């Protein structure tokens, strides 16, 4: 009998994952990961991890499976929280959820599971796993979940073959309503529980407040760049080759305070991210203001009116070799090769047509249509059909 450790988070998805595995004849053990214990930054008095671990325990009890809490807060702080501060200080926008899967659930947690003699770890992600023999090698595939609204393959875009070989995704074939129905039929306490928001396992944390502990507020100006700024009417040079063209279009606009007018103040450019609309607190505009660029060195936020503003759109992005990752190593591009794919630059964005170009110094992703708010530090992931082949950090 194969042994599976399920990461029980106290939510409905992982509860049903545990139930299904048990039905399939696995020996199931539930583990709750405690990744955070600094209650000074949670929003409300409720202590979410306590409530969640309690729900997880009740579910395990109902299913008749062993349960324990593991404290991973040390590793979480080292690998996720410090990474976030680092990225924000560089003026990039991190994605803790993607990192949490690569570094915590399918690394630290996986090692604990293996010490407990487990053959697999399972999570409540809406995605699927495929296996194929290719030229005598076993190749694992990460496939999109059945439920288009909930497909979470993007969050797992940094997993390796080794990690995938040990992973199970029991609810990947189901839609959210089906998962809730199973939970209700089995009388699981989490059946009606709302989906958790907030950082992977930190609970209800306000991001700016969380960051402010480390990143000191410092007042700066908000500069509004007009829609018809000269910057956007740049002349397109003649390119000697495709790479020069890609590099030109992947380069973002450079603004200075002289390019616009000061319309307000902010408490720190590192608290803001491209495409953000909330929190600018500048009134008197015909259309809402969006952040089009943050300059953490000069501490300036550049904003534009309306979500069609040219400053928000680009159609080429770049990933350095160090931050390039192929789940399907057998399909990795060599220098000079290209691949037609569908790609997304954020969770729940619909897949967009794109072409990958591998060059000496990294990989360009050229989208057929311009993309709004391409944000450094976020992950771009690419697919063929419903399989996620690889990903990288937008540089």
* Residue 200 annotated among the catalytic residues of the structure: yes
User: Among 97, 48, 105, 39, which Cα is nearest to 75's?
Assistant: 105
User: Among 88, 99, 81, 98, which Cα is nearest to 272's?
Assistant: 88
Alpha helices in 283-373 (DSSP H): none
CA atoms within 13 A on the CB side of 185: 9
* Residue 100 annotated among the catalytic residues of the structure: yes
Give the CA angle between residues 260, 266, 267 to the nearest 5°: 145
CA torsion, points 19, 20, 26, 27, in degrees to nearest 10? -10
Q: Which of 47, 100, 127, 157 is catalytic?
A: 100
Q: Which of 47, 127, 157, 200 is catalytic?
A: 200
Strand locations in the chain, DSSP E? 3-7, 27-34, 67-71, 120-122, 127-134, 137-144, 167-168, 220-224, 261-266, 289-295, 300-305, 313-320, 324-326, 338-344, 352-359, 362-372, 379-384, 387-393
The rounded distance, in Å, linking the Cα atoms of 103 and 99 is 6
**Alpha-carbon 306 to chain mean position:** 26
Active site residues: 100, 200
């Amino acid at each position: 009998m194969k042994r599976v450790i399920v990461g029980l988070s106290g939510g409905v998805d992982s509860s049903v994952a545990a139930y299904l595995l048990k039905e399939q004849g696995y020996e199931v053990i539930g583990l709750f990961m405690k990744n955070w214990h600094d209650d000074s930054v949670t929003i409300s008095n409720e202590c979410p991890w306590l409530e969640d671990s309690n729900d997880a325990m009740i579910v395990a009890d109902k299913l008749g499976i062993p349960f324990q809490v593991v404290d991973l807060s040390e590793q979480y702080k080292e690998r996720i929280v410090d990474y976030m501060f680092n990225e924000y200080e560089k003026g990039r926008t991190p994605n803790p959820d993607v990192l949490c899967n690569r570094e915590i659930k399918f690394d630290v947690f996986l090692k604990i599971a293996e010490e407990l003699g487990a053959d697999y770890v399972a999570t409540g992600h809406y995605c699927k796993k495929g296996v194929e023999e290719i030229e005598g090698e076993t190749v694992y595939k990460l496939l999109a979940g059945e439920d288009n609204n909930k497909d979470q393959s993007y969050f797992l875009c940094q997993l390796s073959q080794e990690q995938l070989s040990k992973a199970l995704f029991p609810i990947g074939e189901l839609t959210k309503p089906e998962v809730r129905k199973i939970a209700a039929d089995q009388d699981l306490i989490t059946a009606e529980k709302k989906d958790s928001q907030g950082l992977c396992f930190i609970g209800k944390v306000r991001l700016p407040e969380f960051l402010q502990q480390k990143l000191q507020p410092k007042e700066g100006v908000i500069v509004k760049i007009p829609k018809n700024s000269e910057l956007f009417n740049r002349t397109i040079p003649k390119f000697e080759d495709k790479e020069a063209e890609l590099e030109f279009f992947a380069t973002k606009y450079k603004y200075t305070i002289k390019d616009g007018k000061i319309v307000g103040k902010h408490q720190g450019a590192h608290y803001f991210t491209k495409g953000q609309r909330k929190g600018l607190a500048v009134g008197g505009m015909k259309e809402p203001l969006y952040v089009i660029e943050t300059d953490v060195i000069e501490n300036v936020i550049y904003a534009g009116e309306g979500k069609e503003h040219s400053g928000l759109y680009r159609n080429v992005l770049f990933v350095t070799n160090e931050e390039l990752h192929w789940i399907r190593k057998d399909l990795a591009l060599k220098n000079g090769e290209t691949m037609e794919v569908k790609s997304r630059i954020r969770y729940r964005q619909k897949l967009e047509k794109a072409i990958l170009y591998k060059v000496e110094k990294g990989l360009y992703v050229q989208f057929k249509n311009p993309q709004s708010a391409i944000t450094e530090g976020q992950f771009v992931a690419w697919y063929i059909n419903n399989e996620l082949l690889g990903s990288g950090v937008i540089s």
